Amino acid sequence: MQVSRAAGPPFAGPPGSGPAPSSAIRAPQGPPPGARPFPGSPPPPSQPSPPFARPGAPLQQQSPPQFGGPPPAMASQPQRPGFGGLPSGPPPQVQRAPFGGPPSGVSPQAPPFGGPPAAVASRSAPLSGPPAAASYQPAPPAAVPQRSPFGGPPAAASAQPPPIGGGPFTAAQAPPFGGPPGSVPQTAPTGGLRPFGGPSAPSQQVQFGAPPPFGGPSAVQPGAQPPPFGASQSQAPPFMGPAGGNVPPSFAPPMWQGQGAVPGGMQPSMRMPVMPGGMPPNALGQGMSHASTPTMPYSPHAQVSTPSKIDPNQIPRPVQETSVIIFETRQGGQAAIPPAASSEFIVKDTGNCNPRLMRCTMNQIPCTGDLLTTSGMPLALLVQPFALPHPSEEPIQLVDFGEMGPIRCSRCKAYINPFMKFIDQGKHFICNLCGFSNDTPREYFCHLGPDGRRRDADERPELCRGSVEFVATKEFLVRDPMPAVYFFLIDVSMNAVNTGATAAACSAISQALSDLPEGPRTMVGIGTFDSAIHFYSLRRAQQQPLMLIVPDIQDVYTPLQTDLILPISECHENLEQLLESIPVMFENNRIADSAFGAAMKASFLAMKSTGGKLLVFQSVLPSVGIGSLSAREAEGRSNTSTGDKEAHKLLQPVDKTLKTMAQEFAEYQVCVDVFLSTQSYVDIASISVVPNTTGGRVYYYYPFSALSDPAKLYNDLRWNISRPQGFEAVMRVRCSQGLQVQDYFGNFCKRVPTDIDLPVIDSDKAIMVTFKHDDKLQENSECAFQCALLYTTVFGQRRIRVINLSLSCTNMLSSLFRYADLETQFTYVVKQAANGIPSLPLSQVRDQVTSTCINILQSYRKYCASVSSSGQLILPEALKLLPLYTLALTKSVGLRNDGRLDDRSYWVSIVSSVSVLLAIPLVFPRMIALHDLTSRDDDDSLVPSPLTLNSENIHDDGIYLLENGEDGFIYVGNSVNPLTLEQIFGVSSLAGLPNQLVLEPFDNELSRKVNEVVNEIRRQRCSYLRLRLCKKGDPSGDFFRSLLVEDKAPGGLSYVEFLVHVHRQIQSKMT
């Protein structure tokens, strides 16, 4: 290893300000690369797309056309007369847009994530199947080990190409997982499909303490199929009602039904999806919930809800449908109500977008701000532009308008979509967002048919699909699309090395290199740091990597411009060699300080000309150099004695240094992910600002275990770089006149009010957009939302993904409740709470959360329920789980009093970008029994029905898994059968259980099933759960019990008590 100590910037120009060459290049355009062109404001014509000459030889060697190889057909497609029909034989320009399409060799159904595509594809069908699907596909036990593409037992893993590098962790412990749902091709389950979007029962009030609300929820609409979808938490059936015996569900048992609770909770007819506005006859017969004529499930037996009268078995709990739902996004000219985010569904885009990509807190939009305020409900969209599709869904289609570019409204710049109305024989079209009448470009003209639609409407994706992608024209480029750049930065300070964190990082990177996008545009670089920064030149001509040290950590610079980041094809071997030697090189490092901020800044300077992903592996509190931090935790402890009045300030970044740095990173399209493998406080509140501002995230391994955590670290990294994602993105949401965007929430940088900048946007990230009224919307009209995301694929194509949602407007409060989307609304509440944590005392945040719930329910009680029900707690059917989720939120890691500062900051940081799908389990975890997996016969799904989250379900002879999408806590009772311990853990007594759990596959049925369940959950959550052991009788066991949301806890009420509390609050507000 050659080491050269650079004394100062090796080239002209002040350190830190960027090398002269590259700044000169950028000089002509003020705006940084990628900052500009955004939908909405095409760059002034006077600003020609600048030739973005790249500094440095390696970059110049890349000729744009060679990018990872999108079908060349695309660029050359002239304007297409007919976009070829849709599903049948995707035309060349129809391709899997999101991730720029895998390299041609890869099956279009197998996006490049997770496992080696080929291996996964070959056996994926049975296993990637949703639980429900599985139940319709008899899977012989023998096939089981093959089911899970990841984390499977060794046999299964060995069948796949071993992960590169064959790290010590992957084989024996937790094998790599093949990636989340949707990652693998899957045949649509044929047997279990249920149509979705059909009519449904009207909104229902749910009451407790009263007998069955209505006579026969079993009255299924004629023609309607049985419970199409399920049981979403939002649309779940009334928990009471006719005995289940009368109306047995005609399908597999619900996944989410708590055991021992709610007999007969399943009411097929109640799970009907609803069509707004157009009510099916029967539904009307059941009484639509108008404000004036509420459907009171009144019964003479209605009782006042007092604590003594509440039957804990009769209160609302989630019930999960196990059937797969087919959901058409529009039916009969109207928006259909999407299935619950947590249910399994296959979407047919018939005009509105796939709800995975964008869904609203309410499926009908209030005409006025007053009505919205009265409802107490939020109006917001949750947008997840790269959400993984179901494998059976048609990919988003790509449309190339050639040089003309996508058709847009000339006033508001909205993109052409199915709701723009063509008039005057097709010569003009009215914008559905601003109402402006545009001339139809001559090249785009088409005659109208007898139905008033363009004759070509069904052949053009942009006129019949809710989601579509456009090839970006030059006006959207300020430079050539950036290459895919990955820079790895590793903490090699004393503690990082001693705890094994450095070795784990090196091993993970080494193994993950093969998962980087293929092609000449994939580039890598690497650095290490302690109290100084070390860069490495990986030129293959050199025998050994050359180390270059940057000692100045206040005013940093990069030592070289050209050799620090190279195409991976030119340095793969050198890089692997280096990764192997780093832990040895720093084995005896005695430097305890860590210059985290300076190292990031220096790496940024190396990446500044291209942008890219900066992946930082940090292990200790950053103690020196720019952006250094102090151990505020100790300060926090002393503060708690004075009450928690000021404690929240420790959850704010300590100063603006890192934020300012992060904004600069974002400006130059650098996204930072931070992997924290630590044993101590690292001030996540300050550190998380960097990933949260640049489109990245924090990963947290605390306390880091060199035994059990490397597998997770590797899988997290692998998923991070291989999941669908886009670079240098800019996003804007538009809406109909009458509404305006109020704010955006998520991991991005915002420099102008209307757009957000996302150096990277990936399939796991969601952005919340809130709205407010600035005028009235017309009843019976539709309110449109359009999200436009301009981005560069990992293969270097510039695209515009456009996502449309058009919803009915209403003046009726009852309709708002009826079409409320529980999961989306609750996700809003969770994000608002996370937002408030750093600025308010925790007790106030909890009060706000509870007030939100009470205000919504009170509005319903006051305006939509009948007077005679004053003694009952009346819950709108769609929101009946709101109290339970609200209670869970007040007890969550983020809001409970006893959490560590870093744990709370971590929670806040991940909530910032969490999707609807993962927000619910994060707060309301899933618990299942593991000890009896071999004897269960409730259904065929891999993961058994969850248990109600109360301690009545915990027995001393049982073993339970509770998971929230991040962690999996395995609780072991104190009188578990030794044989069971032996089968699952390979030990014969409680005393023999290791503290650091590595779940190994053993050769017995129970062990196989436990591993299957864990792997299936990891797949569902797109997350490699971190498993932790909790034993009865020690603090870990107590912690586990504190996660049982329904129990009374030191910091909170029991579920029954909370319902009583809510009821009393509503009553007192009513009088």
DSSP 658: H
Nearer to Zn ion, 298 or 415 (CB): 415
Nearer to Zn ion, 420 or 666 (CB): 420
Task: Report the 10 Å Cβ neighbour count for 963.
Answer: 26
Q: Which of residues 461-490 bind Zn ion (CB under 5 A)?
A: none
Amino acid (1-letter code) at residue 1018: R
Q: How far is the CB of 411 from Zn ion (least distance, A)?
A: 5
Amino acid (1-letter code) at residue 260: G
Q: How far is the CB of 431 from Zn ion (least distance, A)?
A: 3
Nearer to Zn ion, 435 or 643 (CB): 435
Q: How far is the CB of 438 from Zn ion (least distance, A)?
A: 8
Are the C-beta atoms of residues 809 and 778 closer than 8 Å to each other?
Answer: yes
Q: How far is the CB of 429 from Zn ion (least distance, A)?
A: 10
Are the C-beta atoms of residues 521 and 171 closer than 8 Å to each other?
Answer: no
Helix (H) or strand (E) holding 464: helix 461-464
Nearer to Zn ion, 436 or 1039 (CB): 436
Q: Is the peptide bond before 703 cis (omega within 30 degrees of 0)?
A: yes
**Secondary structure (3-state) at 879:** helix
Nearer to Zn ion, 372 or 431 (CB): 431
| Residue among 845, 939, 804, 969 nearest 256 (CA) | 939
Are the C-beta atoms of residues 587 and 497 closer than 8 Å to each other?
Answer: yes
Facing residues of 618 across strands?
676
Nearer to Zn ion, 110 or 434 (CB): 434
Question: Tokens standing for 761?
Answer: 């946007």
Q: How far is the CB of 786 from Zn ion (least distance, A)?
A: 10
Task: Report the 10 Å Cβ neighbour count for 624.
Answer: 21
One character per residue 738-777, x = contact with Zn ion (rule: CB under 5 A):
----------------------------------------
Q: Which of residues 974-1033 bind Zn ion (CB under 5 A)?
A: none
Exposure letters 107-119 (e unless 16+ CB within 10 A, then b):
eebbbbbbbbbeb
Q: Which stretch binds Zn ion (CB under 5 A): 293-301, 410-418, 453-461, 753-761?
A: 410-418
Number of C-alpha atoms within 13 angstroms, CB side, residue 690? Answer: 29
Nearer to Zn ion, 433 or 729 (CB): 433
Q: How far is the CB of 432 from Zn ion (least distance, A)?
A: 8
Q: How far is the CB of 419 from Zn ion (least distance, A)?
A: 11
The contacts of residue 485 (CB under 8 Å, 6+ apart) are: 523, 524, 525, 565, 607, 610, 611, 612, 613
Q: How far is the CB of 415 from Zn ion (least distance, A)?
A: 10
Facing residues of 327 across strands?
196, 347
Q: How far is the CB of 445 from Zn ion (least distance, A)?
A: 19
Q: How far is the CB of 190 from Zn ion (least distance, A)?
A: 43
Q: How far is the CB of 466 from Zn ion (least distance, A)?
A: 18
Q: Which stretch binds Zn ion (CB under 5 A): 262-270, 413-421, 684-692, 706-714?
A: 413-421
Facing residues of 792 across strands?
727, 798
The contacts of residue 498 (CB under 8 Å, 6+ apart) are: none
Q: How far is the CB of 412 from Zn ion (least distance, A)?
A: 3
Nearer to Zn ion, 412 or 706 (CB): 412
Nearer to Zn ion, 416 or 875 (CB): 416
Nearer to Zn ion, 431 or 556 (CB): 431
* Interatomic CA distance for residues 723 and 111, integer angstroms: 8
Q: How far is the CB of 446 from Zn ion (least distance, A)?
A: 20
The contacts of residue 699 (CB under 8 Å, 6+ apart) are: 673, 674, 675, 676, 713, 716
Nearer to Zn ion, 409 or 807 (CB): 409
Q: How far is the CB of 736 from Zn ion (least distance, A)?
A: 10
| Residue among 1021, 1028, 1046, 906 nearest 971 (CA) | 1028
Q: How far is the CB of 215 from Zn ion (least distance, A)?
A: 49
Q: How far is the CB of 800 from Zn ion (least distance, A)?
A: 16
Q: Which stretch binds Zn ion (CB under 5 A): 330-338, 402-410, 574-582, 958-966?
A: 402-410
Q: Which stretch binds Zn ion (CB under 5 A): 408-416, 803-811, 881-889, 1047-1055?
A: 408-416
Nearer to Zn ion, 159 or 430 (CB): 430
Q: Which stretch binds Zn ion (CB under 5 A): 349-357, 403-411, 674-682, 916-924?
A: 403-411
Nearer to Zn ion, 434 or 800 (CB): 434
Angstrom distances, CA of residue 820 to CA of 362, 366, 378, 480, 825: 4, 11, 10, 44, 8
Q: How far is the CB of 453 from Zn ion (least distance, A)?
A: 19
Please report, for the chain, how many H helices and E strands are present, in that order: 29, 34
Q: Which stretch binds Zn ion (CB under 5 A): 412-420, 510-518, 677-685, 961-969?
A: 412-420
* Interatomic CA distance for residues 567 and 572, integer angstroms: 9
Total binding residues for Zn ion by CB under 5 A?
Answer: 8
Question: Tokens standing for 296?
Answer: 């009171």
The contacts of residue 159 (CB under 8 Å, 6+ apart) are: 119, 123, 146
Task: Report the 10 Å Cβ neighbour count for 660.
Answer: 13
Nearer to Zn ion, 491 or 782 (CB): 782
Are the C-beta atoms of residues 665 and 759 closer than 8 Å to each other?
Answer: yes
Nearer to Zn ion, 434 or 598 (CB): 434
Are the C-beta atoms of residues 364 and 276 closer than 8 Å to each other?
Answer: yes
Nearer to Zn ion, 774 or 1034 (CB): 774
409 near Zn ion, rule: CB under 5 A: yes
Q: Which of residues 81-110 bind Zn ion (CB under 5 A)?
A: none
Angstrom distances, CA of residue 937 to CA of 139, 245, 247, 382, 933: 14, 19, 21, 37, 9
Question: Tokens standing for 345?
Answer: 């569904």
813 near Zn ion, rule: CB under 5 A: no
Amino acid (1-letter code) at residue 161: P
414 near Zn ion, rule: CB under 5 A: yes
- Give the DSSP letter string of 735-778: E-TTEEEEEEESS-B-SSSS-EEEEEEETT--EEEEEEESSPPP
Q: How far is the CB of 414 from Zn ion (least distance, A)?
A: 5
One character per residue 417-446, x = contact with Zn ion (rule: CB under 5 A):
--------------x-xx-x----------
Nearer to Zn ion, 411 or 455 (CB): 411
Q: What is the longest distance spanned by two Cα atoms in the chain? A: 88
* Interatomic CA distance for residues 742 and 729, integer angstroms: 21
Nearer to Zn ion, 421 or 447 (CB): 421
Among 412, 448, 707, 1049, the residue binding Zn ion under the rule CB under 5 A is 412
Applying CB under 5 A, the residues found at the interface with Zn ion are 409, 411-412, 414, 431, 433-434, 436
